[in-house]
A and B are shown apart, each in its own frame.
Chain A
Amino acid sequence: MSAGSVPSVNGRPVKGVETEVLAQVKARFGSKILESGIPRPQNVKVVIDRSELVEVCTYLKEALAFEHLSCISAVDWKDRFETVYHIMNYYNGCTIQVSARIPYDDPRIASVCSLWNAANYHEREAWDLMGITYEGHPNLERILLPQDFKFHPLRKDFAQEVDRQYISRRKLKGGK
């Protein structure tokens, strides 16, 4: 991979690519895919366990040319965590959404920084706000909040003032 070469991307989507991608991923990983589906054209969705993450991502990048890691989101489902990876293929316009499940009492998952450098900031942000440890990350520090902050505010048990925004004028005047 030389830094200067320009990949030949024609910038147009390929019709029907989503079924092909899903079939390839299913054929390769079989029962390791917990759930899968096609939410809309050009989009594929798979759910996996955290232990399969690096293997699936390596396959997606090396074999299926998903070269653009768009986003990493961390979700707190109260009984488990989930990190969601949106990865895009620039050659055919297909986007795959990989959700990796993480048990609540052990929020750790492997880092994908070695595949996509873009993961660096996203994983730091997810650690900062949701408190999920990405193992193998080169520099897992807080990025948005101060270094001495003690909490992970996007977790559902981090309370915020909900009531204040919903006081109506009538209520303020003493009505219901």
Chain B
Amino acid sequence: MPGFWINMGPQHPMTHGLWNMKVKIDGETIIDARPELGYLHRGYEKIMEVREFQKNVVLTDRLCYVSSLTWSHAYCLATEKMMGVEVPERGQWIRVVALELQRVASHLMWLAAFAPDLGLLTGLLWSLRERELFLDLIQILSGARMNQNFPRIGGVRNDLPDNFAAMCRRSIAHFLEKLDEYEVLYHESKVFHMRTQGVGRLGAQDAINWGVTGPNLRASGVNVDLRRLDPYDKYDEVDFEPQVWKGPDPGDSYARFICRYNEMRVSCDIILQALDKMPASGPYRSKPPRRAEGEGYARTEDSRGEALFYVLGDGDDRPYRVKIRSPIFCSMAATPLMLRGNKLADVVSILGSIDVCVGEMDK
């Protein structure tokens, strides 16, 4: 058997974090690949067992610093299901706004990592510039740019600040103009097409069977968005279209790029709708019990895929067991399928397009 193994990682500009992709190459062609995880394992599930329910929110923020709000929200949702707590209507709408702001910021961070992977440094600078708009909004809303500790079990920490809707509308109008500029940079660039089209292909059946979720699954042509299929909060009252690749070549890096890119527009649209449909005033948080018994799980559409929390309580003020399902952990299992048969130079393009976040992957 020809070929030899080379390590791409744990210290490699492509990895965006601490993990290792071993690839076996024959000449320039990849014949096998094996991801090695666990460099950043911090034992979250064990630490959460000795902290009180509310104190775990601040931990789950740190699962993924790029999209921390979505993770603490998923934990709160699961704990509410276990405790049987109902979130007031205005609280649910505020969550929708905050989650979508975080999703756009997360996708922009992905774009800022993906573009320089392909040698497009302008993409990094532009994306980070526009990301500031959304981080500013999140800061006005929650007081922090990152690791916000904003969702609470039973609602959110605070109400919308004064004039927040107007600020959102202004930033989004500006951002949508900038997105049109981006299209010249990406969609019309021949080099970008050459680097991304036709590499890292993943079929729909394979994607489902290997547990790939989120934009990576929708890029393979499967119309699954948990905001629509298993709605939580107020997503069932929002009118939006999940971004599914409908073109001729599903499942390559370009399709994944397009799905994520278009999702940013959809998220902006959801924010505007939520600001209109939200009740003008009312409670935004209900009081959860201190101790709880039972089981609950919740699944949300994280910016990378399906996040699932399974929380068990035994009547104490701490969870008995917490299980975290990370979307990237599962997508990582499918990367050998995407890589096999491609050239070594395409590894960067393929792994950049699935949006790796090591913090949530290794827990």
CB distance from A16 to the nearest CB of B (A): 15
Query: Are B228 and A7 in contact, CB atoms less than 8 angstroms apart?
Result: no
Known: A3-B206, A95-B230, A129-B45. A71 touches B223 (CB 8 A): no
Known: A118-B209, A165-B50. A3 touches B229 (CB 8 A): no
Residue A59 is within 8 A (CB to CB) of chain B in the complex: no
Residue A102 is within 8 A (CB to CB) of chain B in the complex: no
Query: Are B297 and A86 in contact, CB atoms less than 8 angstroms apart?
Result: yes
| A109-136 with Cβ < 8 A to chain B | 116-118, 120-122, 125, 129
Query: Are A6 and B209 in contact, CB atoms less than 8 angstroms apart?
Result: no
CB distance from A56 to the nearest CB of B (A): 18
Comparing B35-43, B95-103, B141-149, B265-273, the segment that makes contact with chain A is B35-43
Which chain B residues lie closer than 8 Å to A71 at the CB level? 308, 310, 323, 325
CB distance from B199 to the nearest CB of A (A): 16
Query: Are A7 and B308 in contact, CB atoms less than 8 angstroms apart?
Result: no
| A82-115 with Cβ < 8 A to chain B | 84, 86, 88, 90, 93, 95, 97
Query: Are B46 and A117 in contact, CB atoms less than 8 angstroms apart?
Result: no
Interface digits, B17-58 against A, CB 8 Å rule (1 contact, 0 not)? Answer: 000000000000000000001100101011100110000000
Comparing A27-35, A62-70, A167-175, the segment that makes contact with chain B is A62-70
| B145-185 with Cβ < 8 A to chain A | none
Comparing B1-9, B256-264, B327-335, B341-349, the segment that makes contact with chain A is B327-335
CB distance from A28 to the nearest CB of B (A): 23
Known: A12-B229, A42-B230, A160-B46. A116 touches B211 (CB 8 A): yes
Query: Are B222 and A86 in contact, CB atoms less than 8 angstroms apart?
Result: no
Contact among B37, B213, B230, B297 for A144, CB-based, below 8 A = B37
CB distance from A68 to the nearest CB of B (A): 6
Interface digits, A1-23 against B, CB 8 Å rule (1 contact, 0 not)? Answer: 11111110111110000000000
Which chain A residues lie closer than 8 Å to B352 at the CB level? none
Which chain B residues lie closer than 8 Å to A116 at the CB level? 209, 211
Residue B208 is within 8 A (CB to CB) of chain A in the complex: yes
Residue A75 is within 8 A (CB to CB) of chain B in the complex: yes
Query: Are A76 and B321 in contact, CB atoms less than 8 angstroms apart?
Result: yes
CB distance from A4 to the nearest CB of B (A): 5
Residue B61 is within 8 A (CB to CB) of chain A in the complex: no
Q: A70-B299, A73-B321, A144-B38 are in contact. List 5 more A-B contacts (CB 8 A).
A: A75-B321, A86-B310, A117-B211, A120-B333, A121-B330
25 CB < 8 A contacts A-B? A2-B205, A6-B250, A7-B222, A11-B225, A11-B228, A11-B242, A12-B229, A68-B211, A70-B325, A71-B323, A73-B323, A76-B321, A84-B310, A90-B208, A93-B229, A117-B210, A118-B210, A118-B211, A120-B333, A125-B329, A144-B363, A145-B38, A153-B43, A154-B321, A160-B46
Residues of chain B whose beta carbon lies under 8 Å from any beta carbon of chain A = 37-38, 41, 43, 45-47, 50-51, 81, 203-206, 208-211, 213, 220-225, 228-231, 242, 244, 250, 296-297, 299, 306, 308, 310, 312, 321, 323, 325, 329-330, 332-334, 362-363
Query: Which 8 A-B pairs rank lowest in CB-CB distance, beginning with the nearest?
Result: A118-B211, A73-B323, A3-B203, A11-B223, A71-B325, A144-B38, A6-B221, A144-B41
